[in-house]
Amino acid sequence: MKLATFKGGVHPPERKELTKDSPIQRAPIPEKVVVFMQQHAGAPAKPIVEAGQKVKTGQIIGEPGGFISAYVHSPVTGTVVEIKKLSNIIFGRAVDAVVIQREGEDDWELLPHGDFEKFSKDELLENIKKAGIVGLGGAMFPTHVKLNPPQDKKIDTLIINGAECEPYLTIDHRMMLEKNEEILVGIKIVKKILGVQNVYIGIEENKKDAIEFLKEKWKGQVIVVPLKTKYPQGAEKQLIYAVTQRKVPQGGLPMDVGVVVQNVSTMYAIKEAIIDGKPLIERGLTITGEAINKPGNWWVRIGTPISWIIENLGQGFKNGIENVKILMGGPMMGIPINNIDTPIVKGNNGITTLIPEELRGTFCIRCSYCVYVCPMGLQPYLLDLLGKKKRYDEAAQIGLLDCIECGSCTYICPAKVEHVKTIKLAKKVYRALRGGEK
């Protein structure tokens, strides 16, 4: 099998065997959910409900706070208990969260829905917006914005991201095997919106069953591109290069080379919204890692606390393990949580539980490994150094803002330098000081 790929990258232990054969099961609905008003890139949503108010499953509880923002819906039928500011670990600040007590089974509030052919492009985009759909691969960029590029950006190619290069996670793999018909409907809807004919799906070759299965199922409709198993193969720019050999310019976006990339789970969410009228109130995720009793793949309501998921779905931590490290996401790009009651958000593709590793953070020995693996062609050791010295302008000149935070440098570093931590902070400070300029 000829495999497409990119320059750089690393190959960490995959550990997908823990869950790759676990079919996605539907989790029970928790008694209480905590729904953040920011679960998307851009401005937080504004809550439009108040304490004591009854809400239905799928009812809008938060309205977009800006052009780049998203609607937020109630994941359960029940009563709003309170609205409070809570620390949102993903966005690094406190944001409004709506706490809802469930009462009984789902009483749905659905969006306009039906055969997608009856909707115009603008109606489809509006319904995707109203459904609160964001990129479910982790980036959480509002999908209606991504599917509506400026007129001067001619899009000719849609790439579906089935790479799932993060170690441990297998939810996209299971989605491709179990939900291929629904995903294909989502792809047809997006094809209509973008007016494109070329559609590819990139899948790492460690998912051979999905490659063979979709080649057969989607014959003549979507070109399946087997990818080398290498991290970060699923990062947008690396995926685009592997599939089309087009290079997104420094500081540019996929639309600059005529491409839109969408994750497989996002395609499923689009089908659910347009055909069935269901806004984004649940998603599939992998619960995995060395520290948990029962790894698996589950459909879980947004707003479910991680503590509830670990106890009820993962059957708790293994005996005798202390100081478990819990990540929202996989081990490479996942965000470590400091509060186990943190609720899951739309972009949460997994919960990974790890046994504490040895201490990180010693000194660079100039081995250049990080430079060799960086898929963006950066000098991570230097970005780390300049970041630590607060020389942000110099860091920006050598590509600080081009870092995709993939973590390959930190993974490969023999001195265990934590570049990504420093780079993330440096980007944040630089943007604050310079107002987001490139």
Q: List contacts with ligand SF4 (CB under 6 A).
A: 364-370, 374-376, 378, 380-381, 383, 403-409, 412-415, 417, 419-420, 423
Task: Provide the residue count of the chain.
Answer: 438
Nearer to ligand SF4, 367 or 433 (CB): 367
- The type of residue at 378 is L
- Pair 125, 193: CB distance under 8 Å: yes
Q: From its phi and psi, is residue 217 left (phi > 0), alpha (psi between -120 and 50) or beta?
A: alpha
Nearer to ligand SF4, 72 or 420 (CB): 420
d(CA 175, CA 269): 11
- Pair 85, 55: CB distance under 8 Å: no
d(CA 198, CA 88): 38
Least distance (Å) from ligand SF4 to the CB of residue 201? Answer: 24
Least distance (Å) from ligand SF4 to the CB of residue 385? Answer: 9
Long-range contact set of residues 219-224: C-beta below 8 Å, sequence gap at least 24 = 221/184, 221/187, 222/160, 222/184, 222/187, 223/198, 223/199, 224/200
Least distance (Å) from ligand SF4 to the CB of residue 3? Answer: 21
Tokens of 23: 């079919």
Torsion over CA: 105, 107, 109, 114 (sign): positive
CA distances from 384 to 8, 35, 399, 431 (A): 19, 35, 12, 17
d(CA 336, CA 333): 9
- Pair 182, 225: CB distance under 8 Å: no
Least distance (Å) from ligand SF4 to the CB of residue 350? Answer: 19
Nearer to ligand SF4, 140 or 383 (CB): 383
Nearer to ligand SF4, 155 or 400 (CB): 400
d(CA 417, CA 19): 30
Nearer to ligand SF4, 316 or 414 (CB): 414
Least distance (Å) from ligand SF4 to the CB of residue 158? Answer: 25
Least distance (Å) from ligand SF4 to the CB of residue 413? Answer: 3
Nearer to ligand SF4, 147 or 423 (CB): 423
Least distance (Å) from ligand SF4 to the CB of residue 358? Answer: 15
DSSP tag of 227: E
Nearer to ligand SF4, 78 or 137 (CB): 137
Least distance (Å) from ligand SF4 to the CB of residue 240? Answer: 15
Q: Name the residue among 129, 421, 83, 434 with its Cα closest to residue 279.
A: 129
d(CA 59, CA 245): 43
Residue 145 CB-half CA count within 13 A: 16
Nearer to ligand SF4, 279 or 375 (CB): 375
Least distance (Å) from ligand SF4 to the CB of residue 236? Answer: 12
Least distance (Å) from ligand SF4 to the CB of residue 104? Answer: 46
Nearer to ligand SF4, 337 or 385 (CB): 385
DSSP tag of 317: B
Nearer to ligand SF4, 109 or 405 (CB): 405
- Pair 183, 201: CB distance under 8 Å: no
Tokens of 223: 């070109």
Least distance (Å) from ligand SF4 to the CB of residue 425? Answer: 13
Q: Name the residue among 434, 403, 432, 397 with its Cα closest to residue 419.
A: 403
Nearer to ligand SF4, 70 or 240 (CB): 240
d(CA 269, CA 111): 13
